[in-house]
Amino acid sequence: MTPRVLISDAMDPRAAQIFRERGIAVDEITGQSPDALRSIIGDYDGLAIRSSTKVTRELIDAASSLKVVGRAGIGVDNVDIPAATARGVVVMNTPFGNSITTAEHAIALIFALARQLPEADASTQAGKWEKNRFMGVEVTGKTLGLIGAGNIGSIVASRALGLRMKVVAYDPFLTPERAVELGIEKTELDELLRRADFITLHTPLTDQTRNILSRDALAKTKPGVRIVNCARGGLVDEAALKDGLDSGHIGGAALDVFENEPARDSPLFGTPNFISTPHLGASTSEAQVNVAIQVAEQMSDFLLLGGVTNAINMPSLSAEEAPRLKPYMALSEKLGRLIGQIVGDDVRAIAIEVEGAAAALNQKPITGAVLAGLMGTYSQSVNMVNAPVLARERGLDVREIRHDREGDYHTLVAVSVATADGEKRVEGTLFGNRAPRLVNIFGIPVEAELNGQMIYIVNTDAPGFIGALGTTLGENGINIATFNLGRRKEAGEAVALVSVDDPITPEVARQLRQLPGVLKVVPLSF
């Protein structure tokens, strides 16, 4: 079935063109009210947005077919990420399409603050020629403090170093090695505030970064500091910023973003040495084309190939990796579903191990598939997006283990769970690198496909059991498709995985449990 995508915000025409070239049906319906958007969203697999569309919980609830939301830009403040994740909807952004544009805007504002360009322009055009009033400062030799040294911050750093500035950075995720590579100095926030002549912010808005430049933080800054924010509104305490400008402690500030947008009556407006722009960080013709192309390509890769790029709420999986990982993910989902159906709610921790050829792959999608299979036995509408969240909500400890060794099989995925009765472990491999097979269940070697309706039976190994099992199923009109057996030792505990053409009803399961030697019966569905 052809995927359908809705573009709900004005976007460069290349986005729609790419969707159509890739064989995806696309509608461009912009400027809709929330009620109007909810009335049509149920028809679409994908939603491509800019900043105008608000992807609320109510919209997501109405989007019965929605699989992916693509934000042409960086910020996803207008998307309810927890609601999307709970519904298994992937949320993507395009963090690289407007990186250079945003970084250049930050540098432009640094220059504008240093030389008081807006006020000098207004004064000159008013015929005043106040040459002595606008005594600026050089940026050469000054210290630039970066709060956030990720993609955009690192570009700003490179431009600042080219201007012969010294760059210090506060970023908990910045490694010492990366700092050396960028040619900058990693420091703590208080040290940055004390030393920086200019401060520019390049971090997302989170609970940890909200008001990172608070009143207390601004009080710790160097007298005369100049502050630039082209990242997200809410990173700077705007009331405290105004007080700092009024007192002269802050030498200048330039905001491209505000806590409330559109900002029409900010108390900062009209404050001396304050510059404002209307969220222009990404507003160049090149950036608009780039983010439109990127969001269309990313969404197309996901809807057609299963590739996940720049996702906010699940691990990335490139379009090139997806075909190779697809059989492993199918195997992993089946192993998770198998152990979940047999063990039930008694799962306290889970470990996913890979070895052989599987150890050379991206393990995150394998883990996600295992969790999707496991959690799918407890909850409806589970997929790789929301399964990790559901696992955390249940308090499950999830471990990933990678072995470089190659054992009895060329490639192997093993899933172990901790239960009240000890560890339970299942193992699977791929035949011909594409066909999933179970090869061990709870320490008993067995070879079985995991498909359709099945029965898991544990019994004491004794003559006549298979005949009794077949007779009971036959009397109930249930046809056996395949029969897979394994045992620990002769006359010991044995397992049977029986594939059948019809679901096993509670009554049939009861009859099977009454057969001599039967220890456990669990109907399975894949």
Cβ–Cβ under 8 Å, residues 308 and 316: yes
Residue 261 designated active-site: yes
DSSP-derived letter for residue 213 is B
Instruction: State how far the alpha carbon of 299 is from the alpha carbons of 15, 52, 92, 143, 368, in Å.
Output: 10, 19, 8, 41, 20
Question: Does the N-terminal peptide bond of residue 272 adopt cis geometry, omega within 30 degrees of 0?
Answer: no
Terminal-to-terminal C-alpha distance of the chain: 23
Please report where in the chains the tokens 């001599």 appear, as a residue: 516
Place of tokens 């809807």: 303
Cα dihedral 259, 265, 267, 270, rounded to 10, equals 120
Task: Report the length, in residues, of the chain.
Answer: 526
Which one from 138, 188, 261, 475 is the annotated catalytic residue? 261
Catalytic residue among 22, 50, 202, 232: 232
Within 10 angstroms of residue 52's Cβ, the number of other Cβ atoms is: 12
**Among the listed residues 238, 190, 184, the one whose alpha carbon sits nearest the alpha carbon of residue 211:** 238
Q: Which of 257, 254, 256 is nearest to 271 (CA)?
A: 254
> Which residue type sits at 371?
L
DSSP one-letter string for 290-317: HHHHHHHHHHHHHHHH--B-SBSSS--B
**The Cα angle at residue 467 between residues 464 and 468, in degrees rounded to 5:** 85
CB 274 within 8 A of CB 268: yes
Rounded to 5 degrees, φ, ψ at 78 are -90, 10
Nearest to 486 by CA among 439, 428, 423: 439
- Active-site residue, 353 included: no
Catalytic residue among 71, 279, 337, 437: 279
Describe the strand order of the beta sheet including 68-71 as a list of residue ranges. Answer: 25-28, 4-7, 46-49, 68-71, 90-92
Q: Max alpha carbon distance in the chain (Å)?
A: 108
Yes or no: say if 306 and 284 are a contact pair by the CB < 8 Å rule. Answer: no
Orientation of helix 285-305 relative to helix 13-21, angle to 10°: 20
Pure H helices in 8-80: 13-21, 34-40, 57-62
143 φ/ψ angles, rounded to the nearest 5 degrees: -100, 125
H helices present in 47-98, as ranges: 57-62, 81-86
The packing angle between helices 321-343 and 285-305, to 10°, is 50
d(CA 382, CA 402): 25
Closest CA to 473 of 447, 448, 494, 453: 453
User: Is 279 labeled as catalytic in the residue annotation?
Assistant: yes
Where would I find the H helices in 306-456? 321-343, 363-375, 387-393
Q: Which residues are catalytic?
A: 232, 261, 279
